Amino acid sequence: MNALKLIVRNALRHRLRTGLTMAGLLVAVLAYGLLQTVVDAWYAGAAASSRARLVSRNSISLVFSLPVSYENRMRGVDGVTAIARSNWFGGIYQEPKNFFPQFAVSDNYLSLYPEFTLPDEQRAAFARDRKGALVGRQLADRFGFKVGDTLPLRGTIYPGTWEFVVRGIFDAADETKVTNIMMFHWDYLNETLRKVAPGRASQVGAYIIGIDNPDNAAAVSLAVDAVFRNSLAETLTETEQAFQLSFVAMSNQIIAAIRIVSYVVILIIMAVMANTMAMSARERTAEYATLKALGFGPVFLATLIFGESLTICALGGGLGLALTPPAAAAFKSMAGGIFPIFAVTPETLLAQAACALAVGVLAAIVPAVRAARVRVVDGLRAVG
């Protein structure tokens, strides 16, 4: 007797029930994949960070800045190869929902980020224009920015209306790098502050430090902080990845909740699948008893039940896997740039497949054991 043919026929015997179970599996596997992708997107910035860069900021908080005079003293630390300035601007483009990061940076900033590529003519145009700005490809695609466009921002940290001219659009070396950002000249910001708010001028939000050996990141960080120990503005220097993760840590509870929800979804569909298989096995008790009477052993009966369960899970889970990448792309387009990096990783797809397989196996265990233990006399006497 062809076991595969029996498995397929059993799976399709109650097509409505099988279809609804497959639909539930599809939704569960798809939801699990999307929720895990959201978690991955949260860590995208930290994952793409370089081990050869450090970030030095005020040890109290990012709210407090550091004097520009610190730069020369940092250059004297062994292992430091380059230093760039960076100030968070926090402006609003048209309306608050159009949020994107904006940084006032020193002219050598891009040299510390080789993963960002910019045509030489655009780089030169940016250097010549004091009000020039650079925007990332993701940001340009989001708002339709083109080279030569005027980009007005309403200041929050630095009040007033600021107008910039897009002089270049930079790309990333690969899809893991975030380019949903804008940069403009730190000197332009500082010159303006000297006129309107002299007390806020010559201050740096954070220093980006290039080092010669990533393996010495901890030692160089300690050396930089030692230079400014017991000063009025002590520094906290850490790797770029640790700096990024400090922002992610603020959302740890949200991330934990998302992970829990993704697991709960799988547990719920596991219960639904187990109920489906239990109903199917109960309805076929007489059939299993007949097969036993004809000489088929418990292993064959277990094979039928496990095969049916895995077939349903393979179909429903497979559809969920196939729909995950396009669903993620649609979610990214609707999210309005909240997640500039929102791609389904191979690890997520493997986790989805593993969940579908686990549901199929666990849901069949109890019905398979009961079918294997059924007595021929009791089974033939059973009704429905």
The pLDDT profile of the chain, 384 residues, written as one tens digit per residue, is: 577 777 777 777 778 888 888 888 999 999 999 888 888 877 776 666 777 899 999 999 888 999 999 999 999 999 999 999 999 999 999 998 888 999 999 999 999 998 899 999 999 999 999 999 999 998 999 899 999 999 999 999 998 899 999 999 999 887 778 888 999 999 999 999 999 989 889 999 999 999 999 899 999 999 999 999 999 899 999 998 888 877 776 667 788 888 888 888 888 888 888 888 888 777 777 777 777 777 788 888 888 888 888 888 899 999 999 999 999 888 877 765 667 677 888 899 999 999 999 998 888 888 888 877 777 766 566 555
SS3 category, 53: strand
Q: Going by C-beta distance under 8 Å and a sequence separation of 6 or more, which residues neighbour residue 299?
A: 372
Cβ neighbours for 208, distance < 8 A, ≥ 6 positions apart: 53, 54, 55, 83, 84, 85, 86, 109, 112, 240
Shared domain for 67 and 38, answered yes or no, is no
Query: In the listed set 179, 199, 233, which residue is the last one of a domain according to the structure?
Result: 233
57/243 Cα distance (integer angstroms): 10
Same domain flag for 219 and 335: no
- Is there a single domain that holds both residue 194 and residue 274? no
CB-based contact 337:41 (threshold 8 Å):
no
| Range of the structural domain that residue 107 is part of | 60-233
Is residue 182 within 8 Å of 100, Cβ to Cβ? yes
Provide the 8-state DSSP code for 91. Answer: -
What amino acid is encoded at 360 in this protein? Answer: G
* CA–CA gap between residue 118 and residue 102 (Å, rounded): 18
Under 8 Å between Cβ of 258 and 38? yes
Query: 189 exposed, middle or buried (CB, 10 Å; 0-12, 13-18, 19+)?
Result: buried
Are residues 105 and 165 located together in one domain of the fold? Answer: yes
Residue 50 counted as domain residue: no
Same domain, yes or no, for 9 and 111?
A: no
Tokens coding 12: 């399709």
Q: What angle do CA 336, 342, 348 make, to 5 degrees?
A: 145
pLDDT at site 280: 79
27 and 67 co-located in one domain? no
| Within a domain: 51 | no
Per the domain annotation, does 28 fall within a domain?
Answer: yes
The pLDDT value given to residue 322? 92
109 and 162 together in one domain: yes
> Is residue 313 situated within a structural domain?
yes
Predicted TM-score (pTM) above 0.85: no
**Domain identity same for 74 and 154:** yes
Quote the pLDDT of residue 199: 87
Dist. CA 143–CA 151, nearest whole Å: 11
Residues 127 and 263 in one domain: no
Q: Say what the pLDDT of residue 71 is.
A: 94
- Specify the residue for token string 């989001």: 142
Q: How many domains does the chain have?
A: 2
Looking at the domain assignment, is residue 244 inside a domain? no
Which pLDDT score is estimated for 290? 77
Question: What CA–CA distances, in Å, run from 349 to 77, 147, 267, 319, 327?
Answer: 46, 38, 18, 12, 13
Which value, in Å, is the radius of gyration of the alpha carbons in the chain?
A: 30
Instruction: Report the Cα 240 to chain-centroid distance in Å.
Output: 17
Asked whether residue 53 is assigned to any structural domain, the reply reads no
Q: Do 149 and 278 lie in a common domain? A: no
Closest CA to 22 of 269, 242, 207: 269
Final residue belonging to a domain, choices 177, 198, 233: 233
DSSP bridge pairs for 342: none
Q: Which of 192, 145, 144, 152 is nearest to 167 (CA)?
A: 145
